Amino acid sequence: MFDLDKWQEILGTMSKNRLRTFLTGFSVAWGIFMLIILLGAGKGLQNGIDNQFREDAVNTIWFGAGTTSKPYKGMQPGRRINFKNDDYDFLRNSVEGIDKISARYYLWQNRVVSYKKEYGVFDLIACHPDFSYIENVTLMEGRFINKIDIKKRRKVVTMGIRAKEALFKNGQEPLGEYVKINGVPFQIVGIFSDRTERDENRFYLPVSTAQMITNGGTNIHNLTITSNLNAEESEQLEKDLRTKMAERHRFDAEDKNAMWMWNTIKEYKKFSNMFLGIQIFVSVIGIFTIIAGVVGVSNIMIIVVNERTKEIGIRKAIGATPKSVVGMIIFESIIITGLAGYIGLLLGIGLLELLSGIIPKNDFFVNPEVNFTVAVLSTLILIVAGTFAGLMPALKASRIKPVVALRDE
């Protein structure tokens, strides 16, 4: 491999036919380049979807009340279903497979929060303590709302870091201070950050307190649970939840409009399978493109063998073995394929790095990349492809008889 004469010979052959060598190498480089770009783009989309799901706990089921669309036991469709605090207690105590659970109660109106002369409009979400796990909240200071807050209907809030920056502009510590929500003073007991910036404009408060100050009675808008189940078990839990809630609120369990549900485990599996299919499809396209380039290299090597028939005959006449002739042709094929392939590989990786730096930050396309395993696999593919590209021409060259070759004009 490190024979200087052999390298000079190969470079000399390539330099004599520059255009032919360039076009042959370009087809291989283009195949590798497109494979890397397509795999990297697919990975960027997959990373974006992964981030979307991981902003919250991946193993969650969200469900809320709707309006019936089917008759049930003599009752007409069009009935509004209302969830209550009792539903939260019932599910927490009687349904197996639930790890964390929280009700949510939204304050849709009067979302203005003020502190002294500063004020702003923020998302106000009333919930239970488990919601901090469901939303993957990271506490920076203080605490999240707790069970005692719920029981005693305390007027306390845990606020997002961006809400803090909007209301406390003079560097004052907000813990222990009071903000006004709907004209009611609430004490700040914690500051949190979140993977999603928009969620850092939230205020979390006890669900019982929100119901009290808005005359909401015991109504809740929806419920969220987490589990430690796999996708199949989670689907069964989803069915159990729908059946139990249908029995409690007297609607058809098959009526999807009466209660909406969002199972993130199931949806995550769907997206994962979809991207796996995309990657397989892209890989097949890239591999066939590489194969087309390899066929081109093989054809070129056949032409090279035909052009060098007399030279090969002389080599064999002075003692060159068929094995050495085969090695010479295959080595030249590997050099062309490998060099062109690595150029395509580097250009593809370089373009992905460039795109990572210039594409505006967004939630759906994150860090397009090709991992180390793909790079190593591409290297092996290039070596194998180069070997196969030169194999048939090399075998043909090894069968050349010196007498016949020396008569060749």
Of all residues in the chain, the percent with pLDDT exceeding 70 is 78
Which residue do the tokens 């890397």 mark?
36
> pLDDT at position 52, please?
59
State whether 137 and 222 are in the same domain. yes
State whether 258 and 114 are in the same domain. yes
Q: Locate 79 and state its tokens.
A: 């009935």
| Secondary structure class of 71 (helix, strand, coil) | coil
State whether 202 and 102 are in the same domain. yes
Instruction: Say yes or no to pLDDT of 152 above 90.
Output: yes
Q: What is the pLDDT of residues 92-103, one digit of tens each?
A: 888 888 889 999
State whether 328 and 257 are in the same domain. no
Instruction: Say yes or no to pLDDT of 57 above 60.
Output: no
Q: Locate 57 and state its tokens.
A: 């706990």
Q: Locate 29 and state its tokens.
A: 């480089």
Rounded Cα gap, residues 135 and 132, in angstroms: 5
Answer with the residue of higher pLDDT: 49 or 64: 64
pLDDT bucket at 164, cuts 50 / 70 / 90: very high
Which residue do the tokens 């004209």 mark?
183
> pLDDT at position 105, please?
92
State whether 148 and 261 are in the same domain. yes
For the segment 390-405, the average pLDDT, to the nearest whole number, is 67
State whether 340 and 384 are in the same domain. yes
State whether 40 and 119 are in the same domain. no
> pLDDT at position 7, please?
64
State whether 102 and 153 are in the same domain. yes
Instruction: Say yes or no to pLDDT of 190 above 90.
Output: yes
| Secondary structure class of 351 (helix, strand, coil) | helix
For the segment 225-239, the average pLDDT, to the nearest whole number, is 83
Instruction: Say yes or no to pLDDT of 382 above 70.
Output: no
For the segment 69-75, the average pLDDT, to the nearest whole number, is 89
Domain end point (choices 218, 247, 265): 265
> pLDDT at position 81, please?
92
pLDDT bucket at 151, cuts 50 / 70 / 90: very high
State whether 132 and 258 are in the same domain. yes
Highest mean pLDDT out of 32-36, 104-108, 302-306: 104-108
Instruction: Say yes or no to pLDDT of 216 above 90.
Output: no
Please tell me whether the overall predicted TM-score, pTM, comes out greater than 0.75 for this model. no
Instruction: Say yes or no to pLDDT of 5 above 70.
Output: no
pLDDT bucket at 106, cuts 50 / 70 / 90: confident
Q: What is the pLDDT of residues 313-359, one digit of tens each?
A: 777 677 767 777 777 777 777 777 778 878 888 888 888 878 777 77
- Number of domains the chain is built from: 2
pLDDT bucket at 8, cuts 50 / 70 / 90: low
- Ranking 89-98, 271-280, 341-350, 371-380 by mean pLDDT, the lowest is 371-380
Please report the beta strands in 152-193, taking only residues with DSSP state E, as ranges in sequence order.
Answer: 156-160, 178-181, 184-193
State whether 89 and 238 are in the same domain. yes
> pLDDT at position 386, please?
66
State whether 88 and 46 are in the same domain. no
Rounded Cα gap, residues 230 and 169, in angstroms: 46
State whether 176 and 196 are in the same domain. yes
| Secondary structure class of 207 (helix, strand, coil) | helix
> pLDDT at position 4, please?
61
Instruction: Say yes or no to pLDDT of 78 above 80.
Output: yes
Instruction: Say yes or no to pLDDT of 70 above 80.
Output: yes
pLDDT bucket at 408, cuts 50 / 70 / 90: low
Domain end point (choices 249, 265, 281): 265
Q: Where are the alpha helices (DSSP H) in 68-135?
A: 85-94, 131-134
Q: Locate 218 and state its tokens.
A: 């015991």
Highest mean pLDDT out of 57-61, 191-195, 296-300: 191-195
Backbone angles phi, psi at 75, to 5 degrees: -90, 140
pLDDT bucket at 14, cuts 50 / 70 / 90: low
Give the domain extent around 155: 60-265
> pLDDT at position 378, please?
67
For the segment 189-197, the average pLDDT, to the nearest whole number, is 87
Answer with the residue of higher pLDDT: 365 or 351: 351
The radius of gyration of the chain from alpha carbons, rounded to an integer in Å, stands at: 34
Domain end point (choices 250, 265, 280): 265
- Ranking 31-45, 57-71, 125-139, 220-234 by mean pLDDT, the lowest is 31-45
Closest CA to 261 of 232, 228, 225, 308: 225
> pLDDT at position 404, please?
60
The pLDDT mean for the chain works out to 80
> pLDDT at position 29, please?
79
